Structure 1
Amino acid sequence: MPPKRETVEKARNLRRALSLPEVALWQWLRGRPDGLKFRRQHPAGPYILDFYCPSARLAIEMDGSGHDLAGQVAHDARRDGWSQAQGYRVLRVRAVDIFRDFDAMGRQILDCCGALPLHQPSAVPLPMLRMGRIK
């Protein structure tokens, strides 16, 4: 099912408004670790996948503290069910883990992609904040 026009527009807007943990992860993913290509805020049917690796059909969902709320847990379960029915594998990453242990999180992503790391992922330097926008 192709994404709706509204979903595509929302994805474009979300790409401009990444959270700090999303920016840190994207800085690493866009470097194509182990040759894998990733997309950010990828429209998929009625949903937007935070990060997506097409070759592994892996959706990486970044969960902040709001994902612990009962209503959001139910929504995430429906969304994961839909994604899995479409043939996507879903990896949920807690936003706090990006800064707590980036190397372990990177290894987990590469493992889920089925890639054997050629090297240990190193911590990504935090983006600089300039004039109220992350650069």
Structure 2
Amino acid sequence: MKNKIIPYKPHLKDFARELRKNSTLSEVILWQNIKMKGYDFQFHRQVPMLDYIVDFYCHELMLAIEIDGDSHLYKYEYDRFRRGELEKLGVHFLRFSDIDVKQNLFSVLLSLEQEIERLKTPLKSPQGDNTSN
């Protein structure tokens, strides 16, 4: 499957590098688990897209994972707008709270596994696989 690269503002590259160096505890926890599990797909941390940076991203599935901690408090409208802009390009989103990653990691990983399975499985038409009538 060919990766769709989403363009980004060049200045975000350095900012993303800094975010990777200064990850939150929940980002470190999730990253360690994503790396250990493998999932047959490669994820990247702090990925620039358009004018934004997403916490984790899989190019093959076009799946972004966001962890909402204190920095997302009072930013609901901004996050919704940003998500909408990226969804227009085909990006799918999973959002987890900082607390969920720290206290309910099993559920977070299960949700991630289910979303990966959903995205990698081609949709079938309601009429079945036989499209020639």
Normalising by structure 1, report the TM-score. Answer: 0.78
Percent identity between matched residues is 32
Secondary structure of the 1:34 match is: coil
Superposed structure 1 runs of 4+ greater than 3 Å apart: none
- Could you tell me which amino acid in structure 1 is paired with residue 76 of structure 2? V
Secondary structure of the 1:78 match is: helix
Distance (Å, rounded) in 2 between the aligned partners of 1:47 and 1:64:
17
User: Are residues 16 and 66 of structure 1, via their aligned partners in 2, closer, same or farther at CA, if it must alter by over 3 Å?
Assistant: closer
What are the ranges of 5 or more consecutive residues in structure 1 without an aligned counterpart? 116-135
Superposed CA RMSD: 1.4
What are the ranges of 5 or more consecutive residues in structure 2 without an aligned counterpart? 1-5, 119-133
Among residues 5, 10, 17, which one is paired with 2:10 in the alignment?
5
Secondary structure of the 1:3 match is: coil
How many residues matched? Answer: 113
Q: Single out whichever of 24-33 and 90-99 deviates more from structure 2.
A: 24-33
Is 1:111 equivalent to 2:121 in the alignment? Answer: no
Normalising by structure 2, report the TM-score. Answer: 0.79
Deviation at 1:3, TM superposition (A): 1.1
Secondary structure of the 1:114 match is: helix
Find the counterpart in structure 2 of residue 17 from structure 1: 22
Secondary structure of the 2:11 match is: helix
Distance (Å, rounded) in 2 between the aligned partners of 1:96 and 1:48:
21
User: Are residues 54 and 32 of structure 1, via their aligned partners in 2, closer, same or farther at CA, if it must alter by over 3 Å?
Assistant: farther
Deviation at 1:68, TM superposition (A): 3.4
Q: How does 1:36-75 map to 2 (within 5 A)?
A: 36-69=41-74, 72-75=75-78
Secondary structure of the 2:60 match is: coil
Is 1:95 equivalent to 2:98 in the alignment? Answer: yes
